[in-house]
Chain A
Amino acid sequence: MTSLRQKHRTETLRNLAFLSPWLIGVSVFFLYPLVSTVYFSFMKYDGFTPPTWTGWKNWQYVFTDYPFFWPALRNTLWLVVVMVTLRVVFGLGIGLLITKVKTGAGFFRTAFYLPYLAPPVAATMAFAFLLNPGTGPVNSILGSIGLPQPGWFNDPAWSKPALTMLALWGIGDLMVIFMASLLDVPQEQYEAASLDGAGAWQRFRYVTLPNISPIVLFAVVTGVIQTMQYYTQPLVAGKVASGVIGGAGQQFEPGYPDKSTLTLPQLVYHLGFQRFDTGGASVIALVLFALAMVFTAFLMRSMSERSVA
């Protein structure tokens, strides 16, 4: 009996030893920050003086009194629904087109992939220049052919569509993934479908889509998580378009114009690093975490139900 128990203990220790790299990684980079964030969400903590318990005060402030929270949440959800959907559709569409191209495929692959490599700050500044409502070439062209000239990053109604255009321009990552999955679809399935009289749409619907659905799920889930963390582009676009660098008596306006480019990660920074409010920042970080979990669980579940059906 004793030797059995000892053997079991030895096996457990050995298993734990094998698992230790993962355990250490998860503990240090996931559990510790997560537990800390939950802890700080109930504390008043400015980073300098010892934290003190405040109960639900931070939660109440963020949900009822912090004027930037709901606009940022609405913007984040808009971007998750519109930007992620369009990126997946556009990435798949470009991937499909390029796999069909007979000549110059290499050129098109490179042309569509290159923008993805542009640093986000530089790319956003370039877009802010191109889309400047007064001096940008895009509006000059639109004006010259008699089309309306939107305010783009200076107009609350157009700022998120402009950010979506920027995201679609940098579609290279999804395009490559979709191309690889499209080339992996067995040709004989297309041939069999064609023999059965399937048209282009039916081949796509009943052959391509089922084969690449795990990749679509991957693209959507990673897209949702990335969009939840969307920070650099809206911040730079708002800052460049507002023209306000910031200085004495010149408060930087989060989410210019009219809070339309405000996202939740910007609030984490704003509260945590500009207002010394670690508690409030932790609440927003936990909201982001919960949203990402809910979206991911929903997508995984609906996809697995569909594959079972």
Chain B
Amino acid sequence: MQSFTRAVIGTAAVALLATACTGTSNAPQADDDATKDVSITFWHGWSAPGEAAAIAADVKAFEAKHPNIHVKVVGNINDDKIKQALRAGGANAPDVVSSFTTDNVGTFCASNVFTDLKPFLDRSGIELDTTFPKPLQDYTQFQGKRCTLPLLNDAYGLYYNKTAFKAAGITAPPKTLSEFDAVAKKLTKVKGDSYSQLGFMPNFHGYESTATHFAALWNPTYFTPGGKSNLAKDPAFAAMLTWQKGLVEQLGGFAKLEKYRATFGDEFGAKNPFHTGQVAMTMDGEWRLGMAREAGVTFDIGVAPFPVPDAQADSYGKGYLSGTVIGIAGTSQKQNAAWELVKFMTTDTDAVVSFANAIHNVPSTLDALKSPALTADLKPFIGIAQHAKSNTTPASPNGGAYQLTLQDFGYAHEAGKVPDLAAGLAKTDEQIDKDLAQAK
């Protein structure tokens, strides 16, 4: 029995020892020779056939310029897979990784899962300020550490059903939120206890109608310089939540809108409520036009910047920005070769423009934004992307956790479960700070 006990204790000790040595990152020096024959692996999140073809074309153009670097492309990868694969490391782990969301840049940079790109940028003589728009520079770094670069850009604007506008006698898209509210009401057609057409779905579950996307219209400051949550102190958040709830009430109330929302098809499917005419206006990214065409939408679609608060009417044209980011795995043994691919995909104007046109995304470099080769569909979003007041959500060490907490608060507020908005925002700040403390 004693032997058995000793064996169990021994096993536990070995387990502990082994555990303590597991998965620790040991970033290699970038000393590989990128001029020699080498194969690298590139992971990305695109999955639609057209998108995969666009990536393939981009990579082919790269390989034509760098015949010694061969790229193995793996698509349909989300951030959860990226994190797990980079934790595990090994020969099959990717060298170059792109992520659809900027939300995790803070985690990627803080944990060294993506390598610091500054030495590579310096060596290649790339000036960030003359290459990328400012908001894109912001969302690809965390606390001064640049571990990703922008790979195309997403800009959010207003899509409207021109046919419905014409039928309602509306001649131009609204520019301020008070105009927007009036238009949304005018376009809303009640049918029984539901709607035959809703002007706009303001509920936070209404796909892209999220708290952060709306808040961008007020140019909010999410964190204090000391890194504390700033929701209660910045009046932008209370203003946004008040406006949103007001519109919810004007359009029939939360419960009625939620019931109607349950009849919507998938956001990225053919039955998106904007495609089906269930909503006459929607907030969405630049990809929607292409998707609407593919879905066979018959009405005319108008695109404009999303209306802004009345007090900020002079900032009309701005919007929420985000985008795909790309970086080099901290565990990669071929970082110099990987950098060549990252550099090509993010800074080569022809590559950026071709890729942007192919997948209906806004280009991410200043030169590409001025390119005459860009498709006409992207024009309204290029204006939003270049607007000085366009903004994004900042990177945080625990990814998008603070956005989730704000969003959660937004759900409670729109449902009428928050009696005191200021106190609720202060409590939300506390929660965000606790989550941040846990991540540090």
Contacts and interface: CB of A to CB of B under 8 A. Distances in A.
B405 to A, nearest CB: 8
Interface string B59-93: 00000000000000000000110011011000000
A50 interface: yes
Interface in A238-256: 241-253
A65 B101 CA distance: 26
B58 interface: no
Contacts of A274: 79-80, 83, 399
A249 B25 contact: no
Nearest to B113: A48
Given A49-B112, A65-B434, A249-B212, A39 B154 contact: no
Contacts of B403: 249, 251
A135 B263 contact: yes
Interface in A16-73: 16, 23, 27, 31-32, 35-36, 39-40, 46-51, 57-58, 61, 65-67
B8 A51 contact: no
A273 B207 contact: no
Interface residues of B, number: 65
Interface string A65-89: 1110000000000000000000000
Interface in A242-287: 242-253, 258, 273-277, 280
B11 A32 contact: yes
Contacts of B102: 248
A273 B80 contact: yes
A248 B438 contact: no
Contacts of B205: 242-244
A244 B207 contact: yes
A178 B100 CA distance: 49
A170 to B, nearest CB: 24
A61 B19 contact: no
Interface string B288-315: 0000000000000000000000000000
Given A27-B11, A31-B11, A248-B323, A67 B207 contact: no
The 8 closest A-B pairs by CB, nearest first: A134-B263, A248-B322, A48-B25, A47-B87, A251-B404, A134-B262, A65-B434, A32-B15
6 contacts: A48-B87, A48-B113, A133-B259, A134-B262, A244-B267, A277-B438
Given A47-B23, A243-B264, A277-B398, 8 more contacts: A32-B11, A57-B438, A65-B431, A134-B262, A242-B205, A245-B266, A248-B103, A249-B101
